Amino acid sequence: MVAPEKPLPLSAALARAAVDSIGDAVVLVGVEGEVLHLNPPAEELFGRSKDWAVGQLVRALPGADRLGGVAERARLSQELQASFLPSPADRSVTVSVEASPLFDGSSCVGAVVVLRTPHGGERTLDFEALAAGLAHEIKNPLAGLQGSAELLAREAEGSAREYAQVIAREARRVDGLVRELLDLARPAALQSAPVDIHQVLGDVQVLARGVPGADGVTIIERFDPSLPFVTGDDEKLTQVILNLVRNALDALVGRPNPQLTLETAVASQRLRSASGRTRPLARVSVKDNGPGIPEAMLPRLFTPFATTKPHGTGLGLAISRRIIDAHGGRIEVRNRSPGGLDGSASGCEASLYLPLEVGAKAGPGLA
């Protein structure tokens, strides 16, 4: 029996022609952040020829100052990274960006970045640019308003002083909202290192004791002591988990026998990279036995300004998802299984899935 002939390897010229025939803009980025290739749609999008761009750092391309960061995250994590950026050709249009690691055999030699623009001239709202613009426009006059109100509150008497104190307090509240808008608008820059997630959870519990009503809540720990380190930024992860714990504590106000459970485990799912390889994930869950979230609200939880709280901004979960996306993980919020005679939800569960350090052992003091 004659063995079938092996297909001939794809020539470099044919591979380049295949990239050039793709309708979306494609940029090949090397290990040092340099441009290896632009296809014709990318030349048109950036207004630069391939001959000019090759060898230049990707950030030298017009409007591509953030593109290099997306490419670097894909190369370092060896996993798909996605983002949305203003179009280099028209800053009022948002383009979707997907960066995948570029492999030469088993070696990662860069990233393949694909940029897709809306079809048919459709213009989309760039929320990040809008949030940053509004925040910067509001911040300076707000600082003047707050300072003046605080001075007036110190010098005024009677009802005038009370009114000035109200103005100063509300100005501080608006300043907090402006800071959240800036957090949402800025890229989630990470200082990544191996992180003991149990240490983070311990720090969060200390911080949570200052939340009104936390004293009456029973906190239950269900930790996997053998869990290895995760890869991440401990300050950013503390911010995310503290936000989830605050949400749970808010849901438990006025509830009988309020309980908050912190749980860690190796997730049953694995993260699949663009190369087909898989990576284990840690699951970190915050559970409460509160009333749960209205079903109609669940699909909108991560939408900015969507909130069920009377005085909430709806930015906490949007910022948290941005941070977890930057970690190469994901965040999920769901109602737990129905409980009680009325079939209502027996609380809420928020879970983070974070890449584990490959080959890492449990942290100090853990089994």
Is residue 12 in some structural domain?
no
For residue 183, the model assigns a pLDDT of: 65
| Strand order from edge to edge, sheet including 259-272 | 218-222, 259-272, 278-288, 348-355, 330-335
Distance between CA atoms of 351 and 330, rounded to whole angstroms? 8
Domain match, 226 and 351 both: yes
Domain match, 73 and 221 both: no
199: DSSP letter: H
Q: What are phi and psi of 200, to 5 degrees?
A: -60, -45
In the three-class reduction of DSSP (H, G, I as helix; E, B as strand; rest coil), residue 337 is classed as: coil
Is residue 9 in some structural domain?
no
- What's the chain's Rg over C-alpha atoms? 25
Domain match, 206 and 328 both: yes
Burial category of 135 from C-beta neighbours within 10 Å (exposed 0-12, middle 13-18, buried 19 and up) = buried
CA-nearest of 309, 301, 298 to 335 is: 298
Domain match, 227 and 344 both: yes
Q: Which stretches of the chain are DSSP H helices?
A: 12-20, 40-46, 50-53, 67-77, 127-155, 158-185, 197-208, 234-251, 316-326
Domain match, 239 and 282 both: yes
Distance between CA atoms of 114 and 158, rounded to whole angstroms? 63
Among the candidates 140, 157, 185, a domain finishes at: 185
DSSP string, 225-247: TT-BPEEE-HHHHHHHHHHHHHH
Is residue 31 in some structural domain?
yes
**Number of structural domains the chain divides into:** 3
For residue 340, the model assigns a pLDDT of: 40
Give per-10-residue mean pLDDT for the chain (367 aa). 57 81 91 91 88 90 84 84 79 80 86 80 52 68 80 84 83 72 64 92 90 88 94 90 92 90 89 61 93 82 70 75 85 74 66 78 38
Q: Which residues pair with 104 in a beta bridge?
A: 107
With a CB cutoff of 8 Å and minimum separation 6, the contacts of 128 are 84, 184, 185
For residue 194, the model assigns a pLDDT of: 92
Its pTM stands at 0.56
Domain match, 344 and 203 both: yes
Q: Which two tokens stand for residue 51?
A: 């001959």
Is residue 367 in some structural domain?
no
Dihedral of CA atoms 82, 86, 88, 89 in degrees, nearest 10, equals 120
Domain match, 172 and 198 both: no
Domain match, 237 and 135 both: no
Is residue 364 in some structural domain?
no
Domain match, 317 and 242 both: yes
Distance between CA atoms of 337 and 349, rounded to whole angstroms? 10
Distance between CA atoms of 12 and 316, rounded to whole angstroms? 48
Q: Which domain holds residue 156?
A: 127-185
Domain match, 163 and 238 both: no
Is residue 1 in some structural domain?
no
Question: Terminus-to-terminus CA distance in the chain, angstroms?
Answer: 57
Q: Which residues pair with 37 in a beta bridge?
A: 28
For residue 160, the model assigns a pLDDT of: 84
With a CB cutoff of 8 Å and minimum separation 6, the contacts of 56 are 34, 35
Distance between CA atoms of 60 and 232, rounded to whole angstroms? 29
For residue 124, the model assigns a pLDDT of: 45
**CATH code for the domain of 342:** 3.30.565.10
Domain match, 47 and 63 both: yes
Question: Residue 273 in contact with residue 267, Cβ under 8 Å?
Answer: no
